[in-house]
A = this chain, B = another copy of it.
Amino acid sequence: MKHFLLNKLIKKIFINHKLSTKHAKICSDALINAELAGAPSHGLSRLKMYCDRINKKLINPKPKIKIKKISQSISCIDANNSIGFVAADLAVKTAIKNAKKTGIGLVAVKNSGHYGLSGYYVEQAVKKNLIAMLFTNAPPAVAPHGASKSLFGTNPICFGTPTGSKVPFILDTSISMINRGKIRVAAKEGKKIPEGVALDKSGKPTTDPKKALEGVQLPIAGFRGSGLAWMVDILSGVFTGGNHAGRVKDPFTDFSAPQNIGHLFFVMKPNLFVGNSFNSRIKDNIKTIKKLPKIKSIKEILYPGQNKFNRYINNLKKEIHIPKDVLEDLKNLNAF
């Protein structure tokens, strides 16, 4: 289906679930963006889950979001269990405003939920010619180093910067060897996951996505990745007032309470220290790295975000593929 038609359908579904037109648009835009960016694990496959959580009053469709201004640079948002997209959209816009005023914007969010792709919000700041960092925690998926039980989420670290070209530098990396959404998609599609990325619940390596979902995802680089995940849990959970230490609920399977996810946004003006030369500096940086001799299997050295940008541009012209089960979800949600 054409992306703009699908967007309309999804927006309608959210409106039917009592979201305001404005909030419904924020949500449908984010989900369609994930599909276009080639990340279906963060797209339509989650629509039913969001609606289920709204129906069960775990996501508040009419949130009273409070923004507390701590200084010209620092703001604190209590999202009142809004859908994550709405809280994150408001947060990045607030951080952008603060950064434009003072050079740096720091915004913490609590009582939020899963917001899709971190890169989507960081890109908003980058499009305004700003540098951004974003941390969020997530439901237990990764075992801390030394533990035999999951506790950390895949806790992405996201960083973006203008590049002086139309393709932004967006690093959006989970600290897990594999994205949980990808395991979920593999499970739905009956595909295997790579070796060395997950253990089953008895602690044995597995390539079966269903067993991996019941088991433990492995952090990147052992104690280093585990430490980075812990850092993200502290920054986005302990520091913001959100849930932490493994208490963020799995949105698909745990309907006992709202998620209360925390997010932390840093946004900065790129010209703070080097003035107008930032553009030429970042261009030079990227050009120099791209010119390096390459290993045999590689045609071009890409910076983070380039692949996704290219996929996005290509997908804009194509129909969005709707898998069978998602089509079923859409029918059940009275999309047609």
Contacts and interface: CB of A to CB of B under 8 A. Distances in A.
Contacts of A76: 272-273
A230 B292 contact: no
A268 interface: yes
A268 B106 CA distance: 10
Contact of A144 (B145, B231, B301): B301
Contacts of A278: 238-239
Contact of A292 (B148, B234, B304): B148
**What class of interface size applies to chain A in its complex with B?**
35 or more
Given A146-B294, A151-B289, A293-B147, A284 B245 contact: yes
Interface in A193-217: 203
Interface stretch (A41-49, A66-74, A82-90, A180-188): A66-74
A270 B241 CA distance: 11
A161 interface: yes
A241 B273 contact: yes
A298 interface: yes
Number of copies: 2
Nearest to A301: B146
A4 interface: no
Contact of A103 (B70, B227, B235, B268): B70
Contacts of A285: 233-234, 237-238, 244-245
A96 interface: no
Interface string A134-174: 00000000011111110100000101010000000101010
Contacts of A224: 173, 220
Nearest to A268: B106
B220 A282 contact: no
A1 interface: no
A288 interface: yes
Given A147-B293, A231-B171, A302-B146, A238 B282 contact: yes
B289 A147 contact: yes
Nearest to A226: B304
A125 to B, nearest CB: 14
Contacts of A295: 146-148, 203
- Listed from nearest, the 6 A-B pairs whose CB atoms lie closest are A220-B221, A146-B298, A245-B288, A147-B292, A171-B227, A227-B304
